[in-house]
């Protein structure tokens, strides 16, 4: 098929080029004929002093120079046709060569992009998306076997002390450890591509075709054994503490989400057991935090509007005006009641739901923001982005699409990011942040002071605002250290040309202290807790804080 296309492209090109080149040959023939006519007339005139048909005939008959000239059009015609064919053929071949080269390059680029989106950059192992895909395919082929589906096992391996290693040795060394772990796991795995890195320090292993029951537990023991030997990093011997959670298909779940979620529950139990591994049992659900069992329900909550977006007001400390609000997600679970975003956001991050969740929040927040502007209330709406969002190259286009649909200006929005979310893959995060900033979106560094602050990176990011974490702000009256940190952070931010928002403003005393320190914006329970849109509108009418535009109709 491809060959046929190339061939037809080739002959089309040649035909086109030949027509172009032939034109020049015809012109040559034309010039040669014109030369014969002029020369014959000249010979006739020089001989007879006049030009007559007879004279022309005689000139043509007796003048050998004219005979030579007469050959010109044939020579030009033949030579022109011949060389145009050769040239057209060569040029056509060159174009086809180049087209093929371009096609090969495009194919390679496509393959490279597909590889990057399905593999972990550090270890080259399949990433979460590819692992889920493989498990899904394995489930489908196991189910094809009818009543007696072939067994599969999923093992999750997590490094318990990874955070300590990261905090002590830093990113480069902990990356080296992850690479070595991945090598040891691959050495153990019987199937090529059976091992995947599905999260920062979590590996997934798919085992199919189990010969006998209990084999996967044996495999878990082998994993623990393989990880026993210390890892040599920068002349230091480092020990890791892995745990393994195991699930079986079909007993423990019929779909990849449920299976991985239950492997996570088993992993949680493994952390507490001294064996270091655990095979999932239903009774585990009672002993694990609620968040581990809620995953599939969250997906339904997004689909069925089980979520709500609350807003927490922000007030300008210097002018006393209500200047903005932070959008905060709420999930009111039909059975468990209110589930904290601190539980379900990390859960959604670990699964493939954060994109949907962020999309949902952006739709709501932009729609509400547009409505407030229409009503005359000019609020800057802050929206939280999570780590995974910042590594999604589609995010800028997604946001601009939602903004256009809602009819808002980018400058009305503040996107909140955290140090941690930027630092996981700083380069790619920076590209996305810069693109959004070029579109006119403002950025705020949330939870400032709690992460691995890197001033070098802070300077690289196009920030408008620093948000001091509530853990420092809440204690500034009682704790001198916290007061010093808050004061220094405000000065630092102002020196970098940034505004400062303090969250966790729980009392008038804190508000007064922040005024003294020159802080710009306050957010906290002293002003209001996060509330629904209706309550927010009422709060704006009744609060003691000023509204810039008095002609609002809420
Ligand atoms: P955050 O971004 O740091 O949000 C501020 C949190 O501090 C909110 O908790 C808010 O209710 C709480 N807070 C505000 N003022 C005070 C105060 O004066 N005292 C105390 N004790 N707490 C205060 P919330 O709503 O539970 O949210 C927790 C976290 O969940 C947020 O922390 C944010 O990281 C995440 N989150 C919430 N909504 C979203 C969302 O739409 N997307 C993403 N990616 N994350 C979200
Ligand atoms: Ca925030
Ligand atoms: Ca915060």
Q: pLDDT digit string (tens) for 136-177? A: 999 998 888 766 667 899 999 999 899 889 888 888 999 999
CA 414–ligand 2 middle distance (angstroms): 10
The atom of ligand 1 lying closest to the CA of 523 is 15
**In 119-161, alpha helices (H):** 128-143
Surface-to-core class of residue 525, CB atoms within 10 Å of its CB (0-12 exposed, 13-18 middle, 19+ buried): middle
The reported pLDDT for the residue numbered 107 is 86
Question: What stretch(es) of the chain map to CATH 3.30.70.270?
Answer: 128-284
C-alpha 328 to ligand 1 mean position (Å): 6
Beta pairing class for 499-503 and 521-523: parallel
Q: How far apart are CA 402 and CA 396, in angstroms?
A: 10
CA 416 to ligand 2 center in whole angstroms = 6
* Ligand 1 near 524 CB (within 6 A): yes
pLDDT tens-digit series, residues 372-393: 999 999 999 999 999 889 989 9
Mean pLDDT, residues 271-287 taken together: 86
Q: Is 504 in the pocket of ligand 1 (CB under 6 A)?
A: yes
Return the pLDDT at 333. 78
Q: Using 50, 70 and 90 to split pLDDT, how confident is the model at 332?
A: confident
Ligand 1 centroid from CA 384, angstroms? 9
108-136: per-residue pLDDT in tens? 888 888 888 899 989 999 998 899 999 99
Give 209-241 pLDDT, tens digit per residue: 665 567 788 899 999 999 999 999 888 899 999
What is the per-residue pLDDT for 3? 46
pLDDT for position 242: 95
418 CB less than 6 Å from ligand 1?
Answer: no
Beta strands per DSSP E along 160-292: 195-199, 202-208, 231-233, 236-238, 242-249, 277-279
* Cα-based torsion angle of the residue sequence 418, 423, 426, 432 in order, rounded to the nearest 10 degrees: -20
Peptide bond connecting 77 to the previous residue in cis, omega within 30 degrees of 0: no
Q: Is the pLDDT of residue 336 over 50?
A: yes
Q: Ligand 1 in contact with 361 (CB < 6 A)?
A: yes
Nearest ligand for residue 342 CA: 1
Task: Render 505-535 in DSSP notation, one character per residue.
Answer: --SHHHHHHHHHHT--EEESTTT---B-HHH
Residue 496, Cα to own-chain centre: how many angstroms? 29
Cβ–Cβ under 8 Å, residues 260 and 136: no
- Cβ of 449 below 6 Å from ligand 1: no
Per-residue pLDDT at 145:
75
Does residue 382 have its Cβ closer than 6 Å to ligand 1?
no
Q: Identify which ligand lies nearest to the alpha carbon of 471.
A: 1
Ligand 3 geometric centre to CA of 505 (Å): 12
Q: Is 340 in the pocket of ligand 1 (CB under 6 A)?
A: yes
Q: Which residues contact residue 66 at a Cβ distance below 8 angstroms, ignoring those fewer than 6 apart?
A: 36, 39, 40, 43, 59, 60
Q: Rounded to whole angstroms, how far apart are CA atoms 107 and 101?
A: 10
**Pocket lining: 73 vs ligand 1, CB cutoff 6 Å:** no
348 CA distance to ligand 1 centroid (A)?
Answer: 16
Q: 517 versus 110: which is more confidently predicted? A: 517
* pLDDT, average across residues 401-409: 97
Helix or strand (DSSP H, E) at 385 = none
pLDDT given for residue 26 in this prediction: 80
Helix (H) or strand (E) holding 319: none
Task: Quote the tokens at residue 452.
Answer: 């691995």
- Mutational test site, ligand 1, from 420, 470, 501, max ligand atoms within 8 Å of CB: 470
CATH 3.20.20.450 intervals, the chain: 290-542
Q: Whose atoms come closest to the Cα of 329: which ligand?
A: 1
| 330, 308 contact by CB (below 8 A) | yes
Which CA distances in Å does 170 have to 162, 167, 224?
11, 6, 24
CATH topology of domain 290-542: TIM Barrel (3.20.20)
pLDDT the model gives residue 467 = 96
Asked whether the beta carbons of 391 and 425 are under 8 A apart, the reply is yes
Residue 346: CB within 6 Å of ligand 1?
no
Segment 320-340 mean pLDDT: 88
Residue 200 vs residue 291, higher pLDDT: 200
> Ligand 2 (ion): which residues have CB within 5 A?
384, 416, 446
E runs forming strands in 317-439 = 322-333, 337-339, 380-384, 413-418
The architecture (CATH level 2) of 128-284 comes to 2-Layer Sandwich (3.30)
């Amino acid at each position: 098929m491809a060959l046929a296309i190339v061939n037809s492209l080739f002959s089309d090109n040649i035909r086109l080029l030949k027509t172009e080149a032939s034109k020049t040959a015809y012109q040559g023939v034309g010039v040669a004929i014109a030369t014969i006519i002029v020369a014959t007339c000249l010979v006739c005139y020089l001989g007879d002093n006049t030009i007559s048909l007879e004279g022309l005939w005689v000139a043509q008959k007796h003048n050998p120079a004219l005979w030579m000239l007469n050959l010109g059009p044939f020579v030009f015609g033949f030579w022109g046709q011949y060389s145009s064919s050769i040239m057209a053929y060569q040029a056509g071949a060159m174009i086809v060569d180049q087209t093929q080269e371009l096609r090969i390059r495009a194919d390679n680029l496509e393959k490279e992009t597909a590889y990057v989106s399905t593999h972990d950059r550090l270890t080259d192992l399949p990433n979460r998306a590819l692992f889920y895909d493989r498990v899904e395919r394995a489930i489908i082929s196991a189910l094809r076997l009818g009543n007696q589906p072939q067994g599969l096992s999923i093992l999750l391996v997590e490094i318990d002390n990874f955070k300590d290693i990261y905090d002590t040795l830093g990113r480069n060394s902990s990356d080296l450890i992850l690479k070595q772990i991945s090598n040891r796991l691959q050495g153990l795995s019987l199937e090529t591509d059976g091992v995947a890195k599905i999260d920062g320090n979590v590996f997934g292993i798919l085992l199919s075709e189990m010969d006998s029951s209990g084999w996967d537990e044996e495999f878990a023991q082998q994993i623990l054994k393989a990880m026993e030997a210390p890892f040599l990093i920068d002349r230091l011997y480092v020990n890791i503490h892995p745990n393994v959670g195991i699930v079986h298909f079909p007993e423990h779940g019929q779909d990849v989400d449920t299976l991985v979620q239950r492997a996570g529950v088993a992993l949680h139990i493994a952390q507490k057991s001294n064996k270091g591994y655990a095979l999932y049992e239903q009774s585990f659900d009672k002993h694990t935090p609620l968040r581990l069992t809620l995953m599939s329900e969250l997906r339904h909550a997004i689909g069925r509007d089980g979520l709500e977006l609350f807003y927490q007001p922000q007030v300008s400390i210097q002018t006393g005006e209500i200047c903005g609000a932070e959008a905060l997600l709420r999930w009111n679970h039909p059975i468990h009641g209110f589930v904290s975003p601190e539980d379900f956001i990390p859960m959604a991050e670990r699964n493939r739901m954060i994109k949907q969740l962020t999309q949902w929040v952006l739709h709501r927040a932009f729609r509400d923001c547009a409505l407030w502007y229409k009503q005359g209330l000019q609020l800057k709406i802050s929206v939280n982005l999570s780590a995974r969002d910042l590594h999604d190259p589609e995010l800028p286009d997604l946001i601009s699409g939602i903004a256009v649909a809602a009819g808002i200006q980018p400058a009305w929005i503040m996107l909140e990011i955290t140090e941690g979310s930027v630092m996981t893959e700083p380069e790619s995060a920076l590209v996305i942040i810069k693109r959004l900033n070029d579109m006119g979106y403002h950025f705020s560094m949330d939870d400032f002071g709690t992460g691995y602050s890197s001033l070098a990176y802070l300077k690289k990011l196009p920030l408008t605002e620093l948000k001091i974490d509530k853990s420092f702000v809440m204690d500034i009256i009682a704790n001198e250290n916290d007061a010093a940190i808050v004061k220094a952070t405000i000065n630092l931010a102002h020196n970098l040309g940034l505004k400062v928002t303090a969250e966790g403003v729980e009392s008038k005393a804190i508000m007064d202290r922040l005024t003294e320190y020159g802080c710009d914006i306050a957010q906290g329970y002293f002003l209001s807790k996060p509330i629904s849109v209706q309550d927010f509108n009422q709060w704006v009418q009744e609060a003691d804080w000023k509204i810039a535009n008095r002609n609002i109709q809420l």
